[in-house]
């Protein structure tokens, strides 16, 4: 029975979850918040949902760029090199991103 909604970014983790629960998912939702990855990943999310016969929508959250500063939102050249635990990687955080999406 299709009684679930999935937030699907188009990245490897969410696509794997999409396929694992394809028989339960009624709707796939992606959020375009201006991330450098959105332009590449959201089309993958849509493509995989379509392959599985799952409706897909994208919700635009472009206002986030106006209120939050993050190298993730400023373009690929702004993203520093390093491991996620490195101090310079803190610039890639988009504050409360997941909370905004869930609300």
Q: What is the pLDDT of residues 39-87, one digit of tens each?
A: 889 999 999 999 999 999 999 988 776 766 655 555 545 444 554 454 5
Tell me the pLDDT band of 16, cut-offs 50, 70 and 90: very high
Q: Is 79 helix (H, G, I), strand (E, B) or coil?
A: coil
Helix ranges (DSSP H) in the chain? 12-20, 38-51, 64-67, 97-102
- The torsion angles phi and psi of 56, rounded to 5 degrees, stand at -130, 135
**Which is more confident, 78 or 20?**
20
pLDDT of residue 21: 98
- Band the pLDDT of 100: cuts 50, 70, 90: confident
pLDDT, residue 97, reads 61
- Among left, alpha and beta (phi > 0; psi -120 to 50; other), residue 7 is beta
* pTM summary value: 0.76
């Amino acid at each position: 029975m299709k009684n679930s909604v999935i937030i699907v970014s188009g990245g490897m983790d969410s696509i794997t979850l999409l396929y694992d629960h394809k028989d339960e998912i009624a709707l796939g939702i992606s959020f375009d918040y201006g991330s450098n990855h959105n332009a590449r990943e959201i089309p993958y999310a849509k493509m995989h949902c379509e392959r599985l016969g799952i409706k897909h929508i994208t919700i635009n959250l472009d206002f986030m760029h106006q209120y939050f500063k993050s190298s993730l939102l400023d373009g690929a050249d702004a993203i520093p090199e390093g491991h996620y635990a490195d101090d310079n990687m803190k610039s890639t955080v988009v504050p409360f991103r997941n909370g905004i999406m869930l609300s």
